[in-house]
Structure formats: structure tokens, C-alpha cells
Amino acid sequence: MKRINLKISILVLIVLSLLIFTAAGTGAASDLKEITIGYFPNITHAPAIVGVSENIFVDQLNGIKVKTKIFPNGSLFMDALATDQIDLGYVGPGPAINRYLQGADVKALASASNGGTVLVTRKDFEYNSLADLKDKIIATPALGCTHDLLFRQLIKDNNLNTNRRGGTIDHRAQKPATMVGLFATKQLDAAVVSEPWAAKMEAEIGSKVVVDWDQMPWDGKLPAAVVVSTSKFIDNNPVLINNFLKAHQKTVEYINENPLKSSKIIQQKIKDITRQELSLEIIKTSMQRTNITSRLDNSSVQKLADLSAELGFIKGDSDLNGFIDSSYLDEITR
């Protein structure tokens, strides 16, 4: 009997120790006074821009101070996430996938937007179908970027290929800012770009959108931006993550219910950050080609990774098992 009582006592002590340890961890997380959110001044990052500007995050996070850090590209964003300069934020799926497959601690929690990427041609280009791209000069912003991969899948689906892979399409990497001049001087026939560049090209030089965002590969379901954090931060701050995603979901709904007001907010914020002013019409057109949503399509994300590996931009296995954690968003939306 004494041995049984001793075993029970030891078991009780173990359970109490675990409860104390868990409570200590929870207490540490609840002591967090501020978080830093990273994002880009882009149309596809609209939930970040509007959520911060309208204090939706602040209101939902129960007194936790919200700081922001702006990034020009995904690589620098992922560096900041890895070195704890930011806690969570918004980034394109490509950089997040690449770092995950390289062994980095990164989790995708939700989508921020789908679409926002189109095929645009010079105004005097005779376009009837994708077959017209044969022997033409086509640009994407960079080799291996999300827009570049969408372009490659688009032509692959239509039995075309680039001169880099034995085809006839003269494929070049060009920054969107330089594409405008190349269109105007007929040194470029078409390009795959994200908004607001397509709307800007339409307004300024009469370019034509010939493949819209929902006609792009995977029916436009590929996320243009995702919400990411690290497993360490998520596990240490589950209540905060839950509240952040509630704010994210509220912002998505706010944007879809208030498109004009949201466009004005985005226009002003882009001007404040970049010192460049886009017309409200360009912003509104861009928003019409961007599906603001929190729902993350796992299948299209995996297909993007597989294509990147097939083309040699990812070395090794492209399996994204464990990359997406939709459990928090599922609970909120349910």
C-alpha cells in the first residue's frame, strides 16, 4: 500500500510540475507588450495596409502595441523573420516556400490575397490567343519569382516554352518600372506583372490585359501574399495569434465591404511610404483584379513549389507538409 501511495504521490508531483511549467510559459507569452508586423506597400498586401491604418489590429490585440516594418522584397522580409526583427507579417508565397524547404522555421497561417497577376501586351500587339506569343519578347519581373512561375505554367499549359528551355519565346527578366519604356519603344511585346503595374500601363501607355488574374494558372487561386510567422512565436503566443488572425479576418471583410474607402486608404499609404502617388482609378482597377481573402488554397501552393523544383529554382524535395497551419483560421471562421 505504501508503494502504491508513493507512486501516486510521484505521479501527482509530475502532473503539478507540468502544470506549473505550462502556466509559466503561458504567463511569459501574456507578458508580451508589443509585436512587429512586416509587410510591403503593395496592393496584394491590402489587409496589412488597411488593418494597420484603421487600427483593426490594435483594437483586437487587447492593448498590445503594434509596430510595423516595411520591406522592398521577400528575401529581406524572410531574413528579418529569421532574426526576430519582426514577429509575423505578410509576404509572397515564393520566398516563404523557399526558406521553409531550406529548413527555416516558418509557417503560413492564412492568405491575404489571391490573383493580382495578369498578362499584359503592348497596345498595338495583335493578340488572339497564347499561340501569338511565339517568337515574341516577353518579360517577367525576375527569374523564379511568383509571377515568373505563373508565366511558365501558363505557357506550359498551352504547349509553349521559352528560349531558355528550347522554345521560341524570347523570355527576359525586367523590373516593372522599365517595362513601361520598353513597351513604348516596341522593345517588349508582353509581360506578366502584378498590380498596380498592369493598371498603370493601361492608364499611361494604353497596354491591354489579355489574360486576367482568374484566367491565370490554377484559376487565380494561388495566393499573392500570405500571413506567416515562426513555429516558435506561434507556440509561445497562441492567444495573440488567434487575436491577430481575427483582426486579419475582420480587415479582409472590411476591405470587401468598403472597396472605395479601402482604395483611398491604400492610395494614401503607398504615397506616404514610397513617395509615389498612384491615381485612385489605378488603385481601384488593381483592387478589382485582386481577390482579398484569408482562405489559403493548399493545392495551388504545393503546385507552385513543385513547379519551382521542376525548373531548378528549388533544390531537393518540394514537399510542403507542415508548412501551412490553417487550424487557427479554421477555428475563427467556423
Which residue would you say has higher pLDDT here, 220 or 13?
220
DSSP state of 198: H
- What 3-state class would DSSP assign to 297? coil
The arithmetic mean of pLDDT across residues 300-326, rounded, is: 93
Q: Pick the residue with more confidence: 185 or 7? A: 185
Helices (H), 54-118: 56-60, 74-82, 93-101
4-14 tens-digit pLDDT: 444 444 443 33
Question: Listing from the earlier edge strand, what are the strands of the sheet with 88-91?
Answer: 65-70, 34-39, 88-91, 223-229, 107-115, 290-292
| Domains, in order of start, for the chain | 34-115+221-333 (3.40.190.10), 117-220 (3.40.190.10)
**pLDDT of 301 over the 90 cut:** yes
Which residue has better confidence, 6 or 301? Answer: 301
Looking at the predicted structure, is the pLDDT value of residue 25 above 90? no
Instruction: Tell me if the pTM is above 0.75.
Output: yes
Tell me the three cell numbers of residue 266. Answer: 491604400
SS3 state at 125: coil
pLDDT tens digit sequence for 231-280: 999 999 999 999 999 999 999 999 999 999 999 999 999 999 988 899 99
Percentage of the chain with pLDDT > 70? Answer: 91
